[in-house]
Amino acid sequence: MNPFEMTVIIVALAILGGVIKHYLDSRGDIDASSEERQRLLSRIDEMEERIRILERIVTDENYELKRQFRNLDEDE
């Protein structure tokens, strides 16, 4: 076995080991209580709504115009 093949095998085994460890670690998270899962889902929904609102504000044409006026005021 040449050094290149050995290096490839070692890297592949290290990656595989990391994937297996991550899989085993994440399995414990699945056992979270239903109440905790609902709380987290509710929190995600709240955050998604906040992001939607922020996207609406930032993409609004008036927002950019107001920002430009603020920048002009700061320069003076």
**With contact defined as beta carbons under 8 Å apart, do 55 and 63 qualify?**
no
Ordered by start, the domain boundaries in the chain are 1-31, 33-76
What letter would DSSP give residue 60?
Answer: S
Q: What is the pLDDT of residue 3?
A: 73
Helices (H), the chain: 3-30, 34-59, 61-75
pLDDT in single tens digits along all 76 residues of the chain: 677 777 888 888 888 888 888 877 776 655 557 787 788 889 999 999 988 888 787 777 777 788 888 888 887 6
Q: What is the pLDDT of residue 31?
A: 56
pTM of the predicted protein model:
0.43
Half-sphere exposure of 28 (CA within 13 A, CB side): 4
Looking up tokens 């929190």 gives 43
Helix pair 61-75, 34-59: axis angle to 10 deg: 70
Q: What is the pLDDT of residue 52?
A: 85
Q: What is the pLDDT of residue 30?
A: 57
